[in-house]
A = this chain, B = another copy of it.
Amino acid sequence: MEHEGARAPDGASVAKPEGLRERKRRETREATRRAAIALGLEHGWDAVTVEMICDAAGISPRTFYNYFPSREAAVLGEGKPMPNESQVAAFVAARGVSDVEAFAVMMAEVWTAAEPDRELFRQRRTLLDATPELAAANMMRITEARAQYAGIVRQRLDATRPSLGDADAEIEAAMAVSIAMGALQVMARGWLAGDGEAPLASLIHDYFPRVRRLTQAPSA
């Protein structure tokens, strides 16, 4: 399910025949997503109705709800963004950076990878940033996945600080997730303000000294 083109020597490779059905479905979904984002940027998200999106995408309103569970999902994407195994492994093994920073970098990579089209990624982020309603819906998605994220952070904590008690590890994992998400919100805004050349992940390293300073009690 994850292979792409798999050009094996034998012409009839194993994966991705990509039947007509699947292709049309993917295209329809993509067209709908783009229509939703474009209309949102043009008219403001709360002025965009499902009917408008459907007219632009060439589907009926009822079909829209076969693809997306809500109007917001057309912009946000419906699945919760989850790191794959190698991303988790890199996060757990990362040294020389704080737990929060490492987690933020991983999530930035997950987001970036989930939307290969840079321009669309940027547009979506802009819309999301300008629309509290969408930001809230996005938060909801993340809140629902919070326990799973915390589980990933625990893997790192168990590896780097095995002396930590069970209850403490639980709390610190949840804390790291919440703090990283908060910081990412601001960093994403900073990324939007930039020219879009620097990848989000590198911005994070630039921003993090500030995070350290803001959480540090002055010694004086």
**A interface residues with partner B (beta carbon < 8 Å):** 95-101, 132-133, 135-137, 139-140, 143-144, 160, 168, 171-172, 174-176, 178-183, 185-186, 189-190, 207-208, 210-218, 220
Contact: A144 with B160, CB < 8 Å? no
Contact of A182 (CB < 8 Å), options: B97, B178, B190, B213: B178
Contact of A218 (CB < 8 Å), options: B160, B178, B185: B160
Q: Could you tell me the distance between the alpha carbons of A172 and B175 in the complex, rounded to whole angstroms?
A: 20
Contact: A179 with B215, CB < 8 Å? yes
Tell me which of A133, A174, A183, A186 has the highest count of chain B C-beta atoms within 10 A of its own C-beta.
Answer: A186
Contact: A136 with B132, CB < 8 Å? no
Q: Could you tell me the distance between the alpha carbons of A171 and B140 in the complex, rounded to whole angstroms?
A: 25
